[in-house]
Structure 1
């Protein structure tokens, strides 16, 4: 492999690590991102870090502090509402298109994704909270499978970006709404397989809005 390709691979791996650490709260909202410390932590050069942090800046996951460097983007109730509304707008549109266009392969992906999610939700309902990241990955896979036949790569990319920001708020507030969320996932599955996009989008709206309200009730976000 050419040296340039190796460097790109290492840089991409580091980018994904930092991005994941922001989304899953290991790098906390408002935390200063000191290049020297990050260089040691992620075993990469300061020059590479600057490039990666600029990518994350464009994504809105970090903010610039003028001449002082970077910090993880703070959270707020107002911003949480904005992110949730954008997810609702994008995902409802994609869900309708996907239900109308989906084939038997799409149905298989949706059923398989829900099976994994439901199995982990059963463990959560039993009190096992040791697999938070796996749970949220399965949650993403299910929602992504539902909209995967929407027919628009741009829409899927936009949804993926906003979903990650939405997920960060869920992780910060340690959100799991219990049986209500699991039931809504089952209802989404049933409506999708029946090709009933009206019911599916109505369930999705409830799913997102109730999650926002539940999160705000925890008091984990600053108004």
Structure 2
């Protein structure tokens, strides 16, 4: 296997472990152990781990090496605030620049999403949901804002991995309204719906994350 392909494969494998909480917040990354588990040499593994620092899920410190980034409610609220602002900005931009193909793509993405809603939080729904939100802003011709949105989407997935995502409400009505506002070229309405959509998710997840942090604290006390 070519090194570039191997690095990408390792990146995806490690990202999956981070998002599923198999690699836990604050845990030191033991490269030798991972190398043995994954059956690879140290060079591509180190490159994949280094690349993951760009997602901010892993951090590097002198004398300490690589560790899994900590989680907190403060960080979660920062993630959601950036999400609100970046997605609204990109949606406004997309509505201004989108063409007929963009409109057709939104309609198709919404159709796929609605066909997965019988199994909310399933892998198929997760993909369709991600693709719908990506499609809404795809006509925005600013690579930097898309990079921010992708990084924040990864951070959101990480926090969802800490809770029972099945406990979150069905927001299919929001998705329909978002598509309608985009197709009507109503940026003000679209941003209003987007902000409400993200804020309602934030409120629900905050309650669920409180439970996660309480369980973690209880576990730390019991281990002492």
- Determine if the TM-score, normalized by the shorter chain, exceeds 0.5: yes
Number of equivalenced pairs? 212
Where do 5+ consecutive residues of structure 2 fail to align? Answer: 215-224
**C-alpha distance in 1, partners of 2:87/2:20?**
22
**2:189 aligns with one of 199, 203, 206:** 199
**C-alpha distance in 2, partners of 1:221/1:202?**
30
**C-alpha distance in 1, partners of 2:146/2:87?**
9
Aligned to 2:75: 79
- The yes-or-no answer on 1:144 pairing with 2:134 is yes
* Correspondences of 1:1-223 after superposition (within 5 Å): 6-64=2-60, 66-124=62-120, 131=122, 133-176=123-166, 177-179=168-170, 181-218=171-208, 219-222=210-213
Q: CA deviation at 1:12?
A: 1.6
Where 2:116 maps in the other structure, the secondary structure is: helix
Q: CA deviation at 1:183?
A: 1.4
Query: Which has the larger displacement, 32-41 or 200-209?
Result: 32-41
Q: Are the counterparts in 2 of residues 75 and 221 from structure 1 also a CA contact under 8 Å?
A: no
Where 1:202 maps in the other structure, the secondary structure is: helix
**C-alpha distance in 2, partners of 1:206/1:24?**
27
Q: CA deviation at 1:43?
A: 2.5
Q: CA deviation at 1:108?
A: 1.5
Q: CA deviation at 1:200?
A: 1.0
Q: CA distance change for structure 1 residues 122 and 178 in 2, over 3 Å: closer, same or farther?
A: farther
Q: Are the counterparts in 2 of residues 172 and 220 from structure 1 also a CA contact under 8 Å?
A: no
Q: CA distance change for structure 1 residues 143 and 103 in 2, over 3 Å: closer, same or farther?
A: same
Where do 5+ consecutive residues of structure 1 fail to align? Answer: none
